[in-house]
Structure 1
């Protein structure tokens, strides 16, 4: 009996060795025979192991972030918006006949208490804001506050067991990183597209007053406004807000408001119901090499950008006028922070606390002059006439 058992174990060992060699060198020999269905020969792949995804699949971050992205439907009075669409439709397609008094957009749930970040232009002038969750639940939302200068709005809904997105760290994002855009384009339903970060810190585009956009080639279309831009970990990196397009559809140039800006605006809206920014009442102009030469500004190194912003106008009785700023002055620094562009000046003045004096360094008559300036609160932007 012992002899038979030894012979059996030897045969099993040999057969396993042969199977291992064939599976390694000629795996196709072990594939199932083709199936025949109605005269057609089909090759059927074996089912994938549970939890295994192909290399490079982005299903993980998509499944993690998508539940927290909502669709937003609005209802507006005819006197306010006769088009009843995402304002980007009107921008891209011009005047349209009224078909539906509702607007379409997206939003992102950023707290378990039901706070939702979206774009101001998605809910602007809305009489009724309906939020549709990815699980099919619907509810009305109330507006906590809006900030037209950055095109952000904060909403709140009252539902339990809400999916919440994880906020990312903008400093971890680099040009070339893979990102996903999640939203409700054209109202077709939640859609995920992928691309890379094309640029960081985009400004002077004329979209918002304060601009510091993430640029991406992930497909963003009308209806994606207010949706999420997430990284490969499913963390929120930005709020999709605009695209550059000549056709109305995605052409690979989309813009998202970075999460750092969104968090700052969100905190101000929660605390004050509005965003409080500094304001000094000037009309600035970017410095050019020709202007720098005419003002006889100090030379800068070849690896540095031209410093300073030319003041072309000063509001009478405004904070800058009261401090002694004149047309023709060049602002070099605000609160000891160098000013290199109009965008820099806007952001640095906006960060000042109204009522608290700050030092402003200017260039006048070939000499530096320090002025003590007390900023006021930035006025709310005026709504455009219908």
Structure 2
């Protein structure tokens, strides 16, 4: 009888306290998906005596760039006059097919004479720029390699606000860094003359994550991390990804004709 009272008391106590929601376990997802995520660096085009910088916040049109929506390049030191260009780590990308096709952002590879891809096994290969579309900020690369690890593609249309998502990339050059958060909004329009219906998240994204994949809990890529809202140049809780449905549609066009209809290639 006494033991029955104890059990009833415990049940009553548990009824007063809601069960703690379990947080997702990302370990399996990361182990399976990370090998298909790559680091991308570029060698800039030489411009004679001009000093060339990859910093998009400088130059004659810098004041026209809205402060709140700037592509998150890693801020790079300027090259000295007559200096020989050297590869600079700029962003991330991910392998979408075992024969070496890679998706990244247009702004990661724009203005480059050479694009280098570093794989998870530390191999570094020069990539061919198949095509690049400035308006959607999508670029398609191809490396000469086979039997590569590749991501699984999902559908961004099925994303719901509040859903967990995870990013893998190379912020500040730290390869395969993993951050997680939730979908804050879908089909977000930004004031930067683009037709992309962005996925807004609170996933921590910083310079170098640009072009990297955004995964759902099933380990499927649902977006490409592209822009952040920032006043400091770093993460402030507002990150924006290109829906994978849009990216794949553009990539298919880049593969067939080098640019998407009605948009400029870079």
Q: How many residues of Structure 1 are paired with residues of Structure 2 in the alignment? A: 226
Q: CA deviation at 1:161?
A: 2.2
Q: Counterpart of 2:194 in 1: which secondary structure? A: coil
Q: Is 1:250 aligned to residue 230 of structure 2?
A: no
The equivalent of 2:29 in structure 1 is: 61
CA pair 95-267 structure 1, distance change in 2 beyond 3 A: closer
Q: Counterpart of 2:112 in 1: which secondary structure? A: coil
User: Cα deviation per residue 1:333-355 (whole Å; 9 max; x = unaligned)?
Assistant: xxxxxxxxxxxxxxxxxxxxxxx
Measured in 2, the distance between the counterparts of 1:88 and 1:219 equals 21
The equivalent of 1:126 in structure 2 is: 112
Q: Is 1:380 aligned to residue 264 of structure 2?
A: yes
2:157 to 168, 171, 174: 171
Q: Counterpart of 1:127 in 2: which secondary structure? A: strand
Measured in 2, the distance between the counterparts of 1:57 and 1:236 equals 17
Q: Which segments of structure 1 move beyond 6 Å, counting only runs of 4 or more?
A: 92-96
Q: Counterpart of 1:232 in 2: which secondary structure? A: coil
8 Å CA contact retained: 1:93, 1:248? no
8 Å CA contact retained: 2:38, 2:94? yes
User: Cα deviation per residue 1:147-177 (whole Å; 9 max; x = unaligned)?
Assistant: 1010100000011220000000223210000
The CA RMSD over aligned residues, in Å, is: 2.6
8 Å CA contact retained: 1:88, 1:222? no
For structure 1, list consecutive stretches of 5 or more residues without a partner in the other structure. 1-53, 277-377
2:53 to 83, 97, 120: 83
The structure whose RCO (Cα within 8 Å, separation 6+) is larger is 2
The equivalent of 1:135 in structure 2 is: 121
For structure 2, list consecutive stretches of 5 or more residues without a partner in the other structure. 1-21, 63-69, 80-84
Measured in 1, the distance between the counterparts of 2:57 and 2:146 equals 32
CA pair 207-122 structure 1, distance change in 2 beyond 3 A: same
TM-score (norm 1): 0.54
2:141 to 155, 170, 191: 155
1:104 to 90, 93, 116: 90
